[in-house]
Chains A and B, each alone.
Chain A
Amino acid sequence: MTNAAAAARRLAPIFLVTAFALGPLAQTAHAQKQGGSITVGLEIDVPGFDPLKVGVYDAAALTPAAAIFDTLTYLDDKGVAQPKLAMSWTHSDDFKTWTFKLRPGVKFHDGTPFNAEAYKANFDRQKDPGNKCRCAFYIAAVNNVQAPDELTVVYNLNDPSVNYPTLVSYPNQNAAVHSPTAWKTKGDDYNRNPVGTGPYILKSWTAGDRMILEKNPDYWDKDKIYLDRIILKPLPDAQSRFASLQSGEADLIWDDEYDPDNIQKAQKDPKLTVHSYTGSGAQVYAFNTKTPPFDDVRVRQALVMAIDRKKMSQAITNGLAKPATNPYGDGSWVKCKDDGALPLDVAKAKALIKDYGKPVEFKMVVTATPRGRIIGQVLQQFWKNVGASMELDQVDQATIPPRAFMRQFQLIPWRIVDLADPDPQMFANFHTGSPVALANYSNPELDKLLEHARVTAEVDKRIEDYCAATRVINKEAIWFWTFQNTYFAVSSANIKGLPKMYSGMIDVSRVWKE
């Protein structure tokens, strides 16, 4: 009796605490406050939204695009495609045809009805060779889109894709659905006057200063939209961006691991919340295996073995960047037990370079930014330690893709972006003959694995294929990976409901303020 009573007394506070702790939690789940506005600090000014004009949406453009436009699907917390403008979808047995059933009764901001015809018009406009859209590169795998009836869209793909709905899940240059009436009537002005079906309508936009978005009163899913207004400001300098968050001028800012001091300061500050998400993909570098000294596998292996990723992360990002040994990352469903990564081994690397016999001297392309220079210098140091000498070739960010496509490099930085399925990028980056197979490398075994992975539906078998492909790539050291893609946003603590930052997209269209 007494024992039981004592136990009860001991336990009572625990129960009480649990009850109190659960109370507010249960409440907040329903207490999304309506109204208010949010100011978001982005890294750069958005150049525009017309895919024909801008070609590609960068990370900064995704934030307003997520508010103005809808996509066929979106990714839930587990990374599974869920219905948005599409209500359901089916595929053919060979995964080359995908049929989407559209949501009825949706209208663009300008009153134009959203239907299969409008969707097809969007696709055809990007695909039309006469329009010379740079965005067409990213839909090269799609042969055509058909609109057999008002609410049915059929994708006909050139190659099988087992996970296509996840690839139209965020409003990039290809997946954002624009109003055909708007781009036809506005012509050149459409770039800065975008019209979509999304939860917010563009109200005003002063270049270099701010963009103001107002809530769309007729949105099909308006119960889940809380803020009245979104204000977006370009704040290129990391220090001043962080200062405007601290002063309350901004409620949420974009950030990255190259600004580690501020992120770590924010982590300690109870008034601020750091949001981060590690997606799939990685920061990667490609050797041009057709140019000496990289035509010799020993040199490539030696250089990869010389890189101490943990130290590098410490030096550049205070340890925030997560080392990568394969191109899939924490956010990917591809997890490898053995990815065949070469170990960090300075002695072995030195021996390999010595074995090669000739002096190892080469140039590495880096962006002419503080970020590019610092990464270049750290790699330079690692390679100097094993007897290889690297020179930095600083170029403008915009000249990296053309130089990559023309193979005018010895070593070039690249990025495998966060996509829900590895196939589009793995196939493009490593299959013989692809324009972005930057290493100029051909291996029938690798080709076979990639071809098999794209037509296989069983997840286990695909994982096996992709891990085997990575083992080949790591062993041959044609590319190497340094860090996973981790995205950061810092906000005031009262900003709630920010979804996972898939593909680095900060989607504030469904957040609320407490």
Chain B
Amino acid sequence: MATLELSVQDEAASAPVRRKRKLGLLFWCASAWLAVVLALAILAPVLPLQNPTDMDMLERRAAFSGEHWLGTDGLGRDELARLIFGARVSLTVGLIAPMIGLGIGGALGLLAGYFRGRFETLVVGSMDVLLAFPPLIFALAVTAYLGQSIPNLTLILGVLGIPAFMRVARAATLTLARREFVIAAEALGASHARILLRELLPNVVLPLLAFFLLGVAVTIVVEGALSFLGLGVPPPMASWGSMIGEGRDSLDVAPRLAFLPAAALFLTVLAFNLVGDTMRALTDPRQGAL
């Protein structure tokens, strides 16, 4: 009897673990798309592409052909080359900006969640101020003042991402800071630095990384919006957002000029969201058996 019961329990316990391991077709499709986009973006300068800013002014809005695989845009520039070089901009900004948020916001959140007290009040208060400021207005003001360039754009979007990362890190730290293993470490006489770096950080970093992928998706969309408004990367550099903006003028003549970059943007953001969601489900500390 007892052995029978035990074997049933075993099966029940192992089933959810196996389900978690299975990531699903969608996840793999998304990862594959991201891998392709990343590879193209990184290899763009060595790929046999045409120059994305060279114009053939008499070959405007050309259809798909052997010479121009995806045709040409409103100024006769190769659409495929612009899409791939546009991916570089979108991914550079989309990956580096959340890293700024991850680094600064994560550290602040960890410290605030661990030390509490006045420091926490100050950090949370100042982050609330930053959150209350309309992000698009902030971005507009800074680009107008500092000028348009990829570093400036990245910096703005990175700073705007800090509060969100701070909140995720602080929430995770708050739940973890009272757990047995932290109290045990404290009892053993571990220093604050050791507790933060060796006990808390490895556990906080997992949900932060999952959130980072969602942050990448959001940042790519915001970069697209800014470029669409003409406040993103300076022309003639291509970015998906600015390509959509330029294509809008010829929507009824050559709709592909707006739809191709829009599709690339949509698929990439969707892929980052799917991967991020799966990672978050895998690393959520509430479910974890720490």
Q: Please, which residues of chain A bring their CB within 8 A of the CB of B250? A: 261
Give the chain A neighbours of B148 by CB distance below 8 A: 394
With A381-B57, A392-B235 known, 11 other A-B pairs at CB within 8 A are: A239-B249, A239-B252, A261-B250, A261-B252, A311-B57, A314-B57, A370-B230, A373-B230, A374-B246, A378-B57, A378-B75
**Least Cβ–Cβ distance between B61 and chain A, in angstroms:** 10
Q: When A314-B58, A315-B55, A370-B246 are in contact, do A394 and B236 touch as well, CB less than 8 Å?
A: no
Structural contact, B60 and A394, CB atoms closer than 8 A: no
Closest B residue, CB atoms, query A259: B249
The reply to whether B230 and A368 contact each other, CB–CB distance below 8 Å, is yes
Nearest Cβ on chain B to A74's Cβ, whole angstroms: 36
Say yes or no: is B158 at the interface (Cβ < 8 Å to chain A): no
Q: Which residues of A contact B58 (CB under 8 A)?
A: 311, 314-315
B253 CB–A CB distance under 8 Å: yes
Indicate with 1 or 0, residue by residue over B37-55, a CB within 8 angstroms of chain A CB atoms.
0000000000000000111
CB-contacts of A347-400 with B (<8 A): 368-370, 373-374, 376-378, 380-381, 391-392, 394
Query: In chain B, what residue has the closest Cβ to A380?
Result: B236
- Whole-angstrom distance between the alpha carbons of A312 and B60 in the complex? 12
Bound-state Cα–Cα, A49 to B249, Å: 32
Within 8 A of A (CB), among B245-271: 245-246, 249-253
Point out the residues of chain A lying under 8 angstroms from B57, CB to CB.
308, 311-312, 314-315, 378, 381
B234 at the interface (CB under 8 A from A): yes
CA distance A239 to B249 in the complex (A): 8
Q: How far is the CB of A382 from chain B (nearest CB, A)?
A: 9
**Would you call the interface of chain B mostly helix, strand, loop, or mixed?**
loop
Which residue of chain B has the shortest Cβ distance to A393 in the bound complex?
A: B147
Q: In the complex, which residues of chain B have a beta carbon less than 8 angstroms from the beta carbon of A394?
A: 148, 230, 234
Contacts of A374 in B (CB 8 A): 74-75, 246
A368 to B227, CA, bound (A): 12
- B53, B60, B245: the one contacting A315 at CB < 8 Å is B60
Interchain Cβ contacts under 8 Å between A and B, 18 examples = A261-B253, A308-B57, A314-B58, A315-B60, A315-B75, A315-B76, A368-B231, A373-B235, A374-B74, A374-B75, A377-B235, A378-B57, A378-B75, A380-B236, A381-B53, A381-B57, A391-B234, A392-B234
Contacts of B234 in A (CB 8 A): 391-392, 394
Contacting residues, chain B, for A308 (C-beta < 8 A): 57
Digit string of B50-76 for contact with A (CB within 8 Å is 1, else 0)?
000111011010000000000000111
Determine whether the beta carbon of A377 is less than 8 Å from that of B249.
no
Cα–Cα, bound, A487→B211 (Å)? 53
Q: Check if A377 sits within 8 Å of B230, measured CB to CB.
A: no
Contacts of A311 in B (CB 8 A): 57-58
Q: Which residues of B contact A261 (CB under 8 A)?
A: 250, 252-253
Tell me which residues across on chain B come within 8 A of A238, comparing CB atoms: 249
Which residues of chain A come closer than 8 Å to B236, judged between CB atoms?
377, 380-381
Question: Beyond A392-B234, A392-B235, is A377–B251 a contact (Cβ under 8 Å)?
Answer: no
